[in-house]
Amino acid sequence: MSKTILLFPGQGAQYVGMGQTLASTFEPAKKIMQEADEILGFSLSKLMAEGPEDVLKSTDNTQPALFTVSAMVMEILKAEGFEFDYVAGHSLGEYSAIYAAGGFSFADGLRLVRTRGELMASAGSKNPGAMAAIMGQEENKILELCEAVKDAGVVVPANINCPGQIVVSGAQEGVAKLVENCAAAGIKAIPLAVSGAFHSPLMQFAQPGLAEAIAKTTFNDVAKPVIANVIAEPVTSGKEIADLLVRQLVSPVRWNDCMNKAISLGVTQGVEVGSGKVLMGLMRKISRDVKVTPVETIEAFQALKA
């Protein structure tokens, strides 16, 4: 029997104006937006609506903004009685996936991602890092490239997104050297505009604070399994989900493996919940047998219901 997975995007999917039409059209989305403002103690809704873009792009704001938009879409899907079998989220998106599966409340999830964003921003300023996307190479080759620059600084695979797209993360000097080596070898490498070396050992500064925040949060067992970034396996235990989130901060996002695991479990349909179409694009490179529909607009909701 065909299965459906909900997919939740991570950082990079944000833009000024996101979520505005949803909030003005759907009552469940409006309620979530209002709740976010109350919980955070500042107008996230105004920042999302008006920017400025550089403030929205700051990781401590981006994370709660993206989590909120995904929650808004999720509440609309719930109100429509939409059925699904699995959830998965890319990096930050894993928090949205856990919320969608019933792993924690919106308020708890929002506080967690705000804290995570603040801790990651602080770790990024204390220990500046960089990230770069390497195209057209297998993971073994990426590991060789990382090993070759270790004298310049630690660099590790951070996002194994799809065949031929792996993001590396680490010390600025190490990533710069790796990009230079790629250019010399005719390998396409794209430096990314990020505020830290996410999913690398440089994020260890943020780990104790995140572990403390997670320990104070109530995690529920979930009926709809979360296919976890770190292990690319379906998880339903609240305790295991919490433990994996602490590890996720300094571990690679094994997105390609997560999607292949979903396919092996019978998934043939996906819905990208929230901002953008990045995960739809990645799925096209992983498998043409899974159709992913992004839902962020009123038209998309109507098409999904049809």
- The structure tokens listed for 225 are 């399994």
Distance CA 106, CA 251 (A): 25
Distance of alpha carbon 110 from the chain centroid? 14
Q: Would residue 45 show up in a list of annotated catalytic residues for this protein?
A: no
- The structure tokens listed for 218 are 């109530």
Calculate the alpha carbon distances from 115 to 77, 121, 146, 173 in Å. Answer: 27, 10, 30, 28
Please identify which of the residues 91, 96, 195, 275 carries the catalytic annotation.
Answer: 91
Distance CA 201, CA 154 (A): 8
Calculate the alpha carbon distances from 203 to 53, 107, 222 in Å. Answer: 25, 25, 28
Q: Would residue 237 show up in a list of annotated catalytic residues for this protein?
A: no
What pairing do the DSSP bridges indicate for beta strands 226-227 and 234-235? antiparallel
Please identify which of the residues 70, 90, 96, 199 carries the catalytic annotation.
Answer: 199
User: Per residue in 265-297, is it b (16+ CB within 10 Å) or e — as a string?
Assistant: eebeebbbbbbbebbbebbeebbeebebbbbbe
Question: Catalytic site residues?
Answer: 91, 199
